Amino acid sequence: MKYITEFRRPDLAEKLLSQIKRRSRSQARIMEFCGGHTVTIFRYGIRQALPANLEMVSGPGCPICVTANADLDKAIALARTPGVIIATFGDMLRVPGSRSSLQEVMAEGADVRMVYSTMDALQIAEETPDKSVVFLGIGFETTAPTIAASILQAGDRGIGNYYVLSMHKLCPPVIRAILDSGEVNLQGLICPGHVCAVIGSDPWESVASKYGIPCVVSGFEPLDVLQSVSMLVDQIESGESRVEIAYRRGVQPGGNRQALKLMEQVFEPCPAQWRGMGEVPDSGLRLREEYRRFDAEHAFDIAPGPAYEPKGCICGDILRGVKTPAECRLFGKTCTPEHPVGPCMVSSEGSCSAHYLYGGDVEG
């Protein structure tokens, strides 16, 4: 615990805040991409502690939240397919699709099982050879290598009833899409530490150079975030735009080469649907042709029907950084963590959940 508490020391936080307030003169909007950063910012009151000229906005950094209803509906349709077992991480169970959720179809009798790793799903497939086990591949570059490894293991061990429904998302392409849209004027970007532990900091160089936006890779403790903001302020005030790493204990510029090798061996980039953003080119991952036999979309006839968003939910606008949860008329009223209307209130890393629990923005 000592190692963790060193990154939560109030005296060091005060020094960093003093540095930020002393150096920051320009009006600047900084986006944190990762949901883990959003939770830290609100849990520790960082937003309120920063000077008024620095505005923090949350980006599309929650993989559960950005999953489009069309993809969620596919997972729910698969769960209703006879002979299919759905294996998924826990957050997915309560996310509402267009007409239902995995939790609801499980209550109706579907075999949906929460797992803690891809290896758990692989074990279920090995132990139930008379059923088809579909693992829901949700996540950014952080989870893709482990899912790739499970596919390779399934092939090596001759497990023919294991499938993956790939709904993976890639982070740098969607940030470029947000910047290209011109909806949000950003002066700084806090890059996701867990993602960068896999891909490194190098993929963000194009963001810094093309858009002139300083980028800092951050860890997840309050001092990590404050250090990253301080580094961004230094770049903003000096008119620079480069990529820096404030999370050296977890990230190297070139990333984790073994993890990247696994991911690139099994997956290839493809267009992907993002909630609130539509289709973003080369922002998803699909199984390569040689591993297509493990692809649930190819193995099953999935007909989920038309997708639609819950009435009044503005999760898409929140994920783009265009609006805040407090601007949603459902927030804190009909939409709460106990009774979520949209995914941003379901996930522990969702912006609405973080605002509700720590932000003090509930109105009415």
Kindly state the helix (H) or strand (E) to which residue 2 belongs, with its residue range.
helix 2-5
The full 3-state SS of 203-260, as one line of letters, equals: HHHHHHHHHCCCEEEECCCHHHHHHHHHHHHHHHHHCCCCEEECCCCCCCCCCCHHHH
- Tell me how far apart the alpha carbons of residues 13 and 9 are, in angstroms, rounded to a whole number: 6
For each of the domains in the chain, give its residue range(s) and CATH number, in order of start: 61-307 (3.40.50.11740)
Q: Which letter, b or e, does each residue of 314-328 get, where b requires 16 or more Cβ atoms within 10 Å of its Cβ?
A: bbbebbbbbbbbbeb
- Tell me how far apart the alpha carbons of residues 94 and 100 are, in angstroms, rounded to a whole number: 9
**CA-based torsion, 298, 302, 308, 309: positive or negative:** negative
Q: pTM here?
A: 0.92
| Cα–chain center distance at 26 | 29
Q: What is the pLDDT along the chain (364 residues), one digit of tens a residue?
A: 466 778 888 899 999 999 999 999 999 999 998 999 999 999 999 999 999 999 999 999 999 999 999 999 999 999 999 999 999 998 899 999 999 999 999 999 999 999 999 999 999 999 999 999 999 999 999 999 999 999 999 999 999 999 999 999 999 999 999 999 999 999 999 999 999 999 999 999 999 999 999 999 999 999 999 999 999 999 999 999 999 999 999 999 999 999 999 999 999 999 999 999 999 999 999 999 999 999 999 999 999 999 998 899 999 999 999 999 999 999 999 999 999 999 999 988 899 999 999 975 443 3
